[in-house]
């Protein structure tokens, strides 16, 4: 791979090879990352990058669209089938763009959105004050009632909704390890006349693989997502509409021409390939194994007395209070784990007393290592190695031994080129 880059641009080649080696020789535990197949990478690097195709299949502004229409229709049809949606827009360039387009489709400036607080697991685009979104729209928040169980305060959410009359009730998260009570969200949305939207970015692959519940089965109107996390596609976004043609038309208008210009057709081709992979029975096994692996890690952390926010996990991710349990800050923990070849991210925990650049927690998960073929046995061992490294953070010799074990696990479980042969 990269033979032409190698000949033409040594500096970029060096960075590409460096990343190939980093990914091969370390364990990726950031729960929003994954390894895509070479088929997805080839489509993403394909000739379609040359083409402008503003508009939608059959309704483009420029000529020469036979093949762009073909891939976009494939991506849309496969997405609709995977998630039980009547409409799909596969053009958003990322998850943030998908959320912004969704807001633009449903809101007028000044309108209110009720979403999950960032510090309790929500996402920046769900209304954090650092985003420009908050200059346009009003965001009000709900939180967990109890950080030890993850229970959401649905009664408080209902009361806020009745008072604030949001146009959107937004479910979804980037650091929340539990399943939500989707029926409650929809009930409250219907009561106040709001649209029920779920940002499924983190769990899209788990939904597609039927390892967790599908919010559409409970009446959610819209789902936004990225395509590169558990769904194991190229970096990008997507918006799904359960059944309303009116909503679908608003979404299409908001994505283009409302927000974006020419869609990245190479990326859409790669989405189509990834959605094709997700339709295979092996993807269902993959999705279920992600959960089993996360539960294996949960057990070790709990047995070793480390506090997990919400008490554990129902999905692919865990959030550990390493500062409270081990006296190691999130930043320190991330750096120590980097030294042993395990990549996680520092993360705030609910009502964190520390700042976001050096919070109390770390967030980690199993989508990427499950792609590598890891099962419960290896995940148990990784959890043990993580805790050992944090507990012996100043013992260089011990850290070196752990690094060597991580390295040999990586060698034994190379990153697969395709998933056809995976059991």
For ligand DSN, the binding residues (CB under 6 A) are 32, 95, 123, 174
- Annotation marks residue 226 as catalytic: yes
Active-site choice (13, 52, 67, 154): 52
Question: 304 near 289, Cβ under 8 Å?
Answer: no
Active-site choice (138, 184, 235, 381): 235
Cβ nearer to ligand DSN, comparing 194 with 294: 294
- Annotation marks residue 235 as catalytic: yes
Minimum distance from residue 345 beta carbon to ligand DSN (Å): 7
Cβ nearer to ligand DSN, comparing 95 with 150: 95
Cβ nearer to ligand DSN, comparing 32 with 378: 32
- Annotation marks residue 6 as catalytic: no
Torsion from C-alpha of 260, 229, 44, 420, nearest 10 degrees? -150
Contacts of 327 (CB under 8 A, 6+ apart): none
- Annotation marks residue 286 as catalytic: no
Q: How far apart are the C-alpha atoms of 150 and 15, rounded to whole Å?
A: 41
Active-site choice (28, 72, 117, 199): 199
- Annotation marks residue 20 as catalytic: no
Cβ nearer to ligand DSN, comparing 123 with 372: 123
Minimum distance from residue 246 beta carbon to ligand DSN (Å): 29
Instruction: Classify 173 in phi/psi space as left (phi over 0), alpha (psi -120 to 50) or beta.
Output: beta
Minimum distance from residue 16 beta carbon to ligand DSN (Å): 22
Residue 105 DSSP code:
H
Minimum distance from residue 308 beta carbon to ligand DSN (Å): 18
Q: What is the DSSP string of 270-328?
A: HHHHHHHHHTSHHHHHHHHHHHHHHHHHHHHHHHTT--BGGGS-SSSEEEEEHHHHHS-
From residue 189, alpha-carbon distances to 88, 111, 271 in Å are 22, 15, 31
Active-site choice (224, 225, 226, 371): 226
- Annotation marks residue 190 as catalytic: no
Q: How far apart are the C-alpha atoms of 322 and 330, rounded to whole Å?
A: 7
Cβ nearer to ligand DSN, comparing 95 with 341: 95
List, by residue number, the catalytic residues.
52, 54, 199, 226, 229, 235
């Amino acid at each position: 791979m990269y033979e032409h880059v190698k000949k033409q641009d040594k500096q970029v080649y060096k960075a590409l090879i460096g990343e190939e080696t980093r990914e091969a020789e370390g364990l990726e535990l950031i729960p929003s990352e994954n390894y895509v197949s070479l088929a997805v990478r080839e489509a993403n690097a394909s000739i379609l990058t040359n083409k402008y195709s503003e508009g939608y299949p059959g309704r483009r502004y420029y000529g020469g669209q036979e093949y762009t229409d073909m891939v976009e229709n494939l991506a849309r049809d496969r997405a609709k089938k995977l998630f039980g949606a009547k409409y799909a827009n596969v053009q958003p360039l990322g998850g943030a763009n998908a959320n912004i387009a969704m807001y633009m489709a449903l809101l007028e400036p000044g309108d209110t959105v009720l979403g999950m607080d960032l510090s309790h697991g929500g996402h920046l685009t769900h209304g954090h004050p650092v985003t420009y979104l908050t200059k346009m729209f009003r965001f009000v928040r709900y939180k967990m009632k109890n950080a030890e169980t993850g229970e959401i305060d649905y009664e408080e959410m209902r009361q806020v909704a009745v008072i604030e009359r949001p146009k959107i009730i937004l479910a979804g998260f980037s650091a929340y390890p539990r399943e939500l009570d989707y029926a409650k969200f929809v009930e409250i949305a219907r009561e106040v006349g709001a649209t029920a939207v779920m940002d499924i970015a983190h769990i899209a692959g788990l939904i597609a693989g039927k390892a967790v519940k599908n919010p559409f089965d409970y009446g959610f109107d819209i789902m936004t997502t990225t395509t590169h996390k558990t769904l194991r596609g190229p970096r990008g976004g997507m918006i799904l509409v359960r059944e309303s043609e009116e909503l679908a038309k608003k979404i299409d208008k908001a994505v283009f021409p409302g927000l974006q210009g020419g869609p990245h057709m190479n990326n859409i081709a790669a989405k189509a390939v990834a959605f094709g992979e997700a339709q295979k029975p092996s993807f269902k096994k993959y999705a279920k194994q992600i959960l089993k692996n996360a539960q294996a890690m949960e057990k070790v952390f709990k047995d070793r007395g480390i506090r997990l926010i919400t008490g554990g996990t129902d999905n692919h991710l865990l959030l550990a209070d390493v500062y409270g349990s081990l006296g190691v800050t999130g930043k320190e923990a991330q750096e120590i784990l980097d030294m042993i070849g395990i990549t996680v991210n520092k993360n705030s925990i609910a009502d964190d007393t520390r700042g976001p650049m050096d919070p109390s927690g770390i967030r980690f998960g199993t989508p990427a290592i499950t792609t590598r073929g890891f099962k419960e046995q290896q995940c148990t061992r990784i959890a043990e190695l993580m805790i050992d490294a944090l507990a012996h953070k100043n013992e260089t010799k011990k850290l070196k031994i752990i690094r060597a074990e991580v390295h040999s696990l990586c060698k034994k479980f190379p990153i697969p080129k395709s998933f056809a042969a995976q059991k």
